[in-house]
Amino acid sequence: MKKFLLILAVFFILFQINIPAIAEDSQYDEVYYNLAVPEITFENDVDPYEAEDNSQFHVSPYPLLRVSSTLVFKDIKIPANYYLISPRKINDSYYVLFKQGGKVKYIIPIYETESVQPLTTYPQPPKKQKHWWDYPLYPFRWALGIAMGKDDPPPRTPQSLVKAYDLDSRYYGIDLYYNDRVYKTIFKKE
């Protein structure tokens, strides 16, 4: 009788430990199945705002994502490759556009957006060290700058960061940090 109660107590404890994991899975199941496959198309698969974004900067303002395994969102399969990704608000909904060769290849809906603090989110570049030999050259650089005509420095590209992680045993999450916002997407594991 004592062995039976002991076994029953062990099963009860193990069942209590697994309940949060089951609840967590169902939360991501609900998020995944509530997102609809976008019915959006672009003319010639070109993002209409890409030219405007690229005209402001010397380099692409979009982060580069290397996908090393196939990502699956419902019936959309994104094969392993390099993609420029950008967030877009289309018809009051947010989407992540996966671009390759200047064309929009895949459009994935975003399930959550949040505001972030850029100073704490993005890694800060190291400060340039000033050496003693730079100071004697300053008057020459200043005169050369006046003689050549100073150009305004190019505008800074938007700060961006991509984080990919396992949500649970069945889902991946990709967070796109872009300027002062984070855009969260969800993919199913194959």
**Mean pLDDT over residues 142-154, rounded?**
71
pLDDT of the residue at 112: 94
Q: Is the torsion defined by CA of 42, 46, 51, 54 positive or negative?
A: positive
Provide the pLDDT confidence category of residue 6 given band limits of 50, 70 and 90. low
**What torsion do the CA atoms of 11, 12, 16, 22 make, to the nearest 10 degrees?**
50
Q: Are 95 and 38 in contact (CB under 8 A)?
A: yes
pLDDT value at residue 63:
92
Per-residue pLDDT, 131: 74
Question: Any bridge partners for residue 93, and if so which?
Answer: 90
pLDDT greater at residue 54 or residue 13: 54
**What count of Cα atoms within 13 Å lies in the side-chain half-sphere of residue 76?**
16
> Is residue 177 pLDDT above 90, yes or no?
yes
pLDDT at position 148 over 90: no
User: Is 107 a residue whose pLDDT tops 90?
Assistant: yes
pLDDT over 60 at 175, yes or no = yes
Is the pLDDT at 89 greater than 80, yes or no? yes
pLDDT mean across residues, the chain: 82
Q: Give the per-residue pLDDT at 178.
A: 92
Mean pLDDT across 9-15: 57
DSSP character for 62?
Answer: S
Residue 84 has pLDDT above 60, yes or no: yes
* pTM summary value: 0.73
Residue whose tokens read 């190019």 = 154
Cβ 4 vs Cβ 59: under 8 Å: no
pLDDT digits (tens, 9 = 90+) for 18-75: 544 444 456 888 999 999 999 888 888 888 888 887 888 878 889 999 999 899 999 9
